[in-house]
Amino acid sequence: MTRIDVMDRAAELRRQRVPFVLATVVRAQSPTSARPGDCAVILSDGTIEGFVGGSCALTTVKAESLRVLSRESSALLIISPHSTQSDENDSDGEVIRAFNPCLSGGTLEMFLEPSLPEPTIVIYGDSPIAQALLDAAAVVGFRPLEGTFMGSKELESDFVVIATHGIDEEPALIEALESKASYIGLVASKRRGAGVLSLLEDKGYDLSRIKSPAGLDIGGRTPGEIAISILAEIVTRRNSRSHRAETLAPNYPQIGIDPICGMDVVIDASAITVNLGGIDYYFCCNGCRVNFQKQHS
């Protein structure tokens, strides 16, 4: 793929709301096969489209790209065949130094930039609070969607707010409960909210994902103030470690360690493996695999 092809692919992935990392080589010290300007997209399953180096370099790029994607923060990755004590595992979240003994003498530096689709909030209702939420959600990086009763299979969002002021609250809550939403906020007084939730509890629904009344207690009175309190609660939830672990970690391949060179290896369909005594071993390249087999032959 040319650089233009990679950029077109990145634009397509953004339109499709698919998370990925754009890796761009910014410095290459000979001898390396990559050159400044080479780039690739790395998907959350470890798939690489484009070119940023040979097989050994790609092993590190894949592993570090998945970590960058899970942290949702960019980083400069420096891959070098030379290691000092301070270089190993040296990462401050902005610069990642990776020791790669397989490189033929050169050093690669590349910028890893994660691209994640903006999170969505499904908002039920045409009340002033619902409208305030629709207006304010984009300001804090969310994509607001108006909720409609179309079946839970169509409701794909981590965050749902029901602000119908008593109109069709129960079916809206049921639709949200039957989706994968991790946060369901009900805009209601404590008394009315408790009454609605008791009806759902009697029907056997797990109400642990529902927050009623929705929002942080900031003393909000106007629709705008209440909308801000709800968004603040959702942002707190989204940025929590537990939420990231729930929504991100299960989507990524596991990472193993090459027993020969000690490099991290992404365990996916393309991983080079050897099964010995019922144990799977993973390798950055065929050279390490051959050395391992010689040692155990």
Contact 95, 105 (CB under 8 A): no
- What confidence tens digit (pLDDT) does each residue in 73-89 have? 899 999 888 764 444 44
- Single-letter residue type at 118: E
Helices (H) and strands (E) in the chain, counts: 8, 16
- What confidence tens digit (pLDDT) does each residue in 213-234 have? 999 999 988 999 999 999 999 9
Contact 214, 233 (CB under 8 A): yes
Contact 237, 182 (CB under 8 A): yes
| Pairing mode, strands 264-266 and 255-257 | antiparallel
In the structure, what pLDDT confidence band is assigned to residue 120 with cuts at 50, 70 and 90? confident
- What confidence tens digit (pLDDT) does each residue in 273-289 have? 999 888 999 888 888 88
In the structure, what pLDDT confidence band is assigned to residue 57 with cuts at 50, 70 and 90? confident
Task: Provide CB contacts within 8 A for 268, sequence distance 6+.
Answer: 45, 46, 47, 253
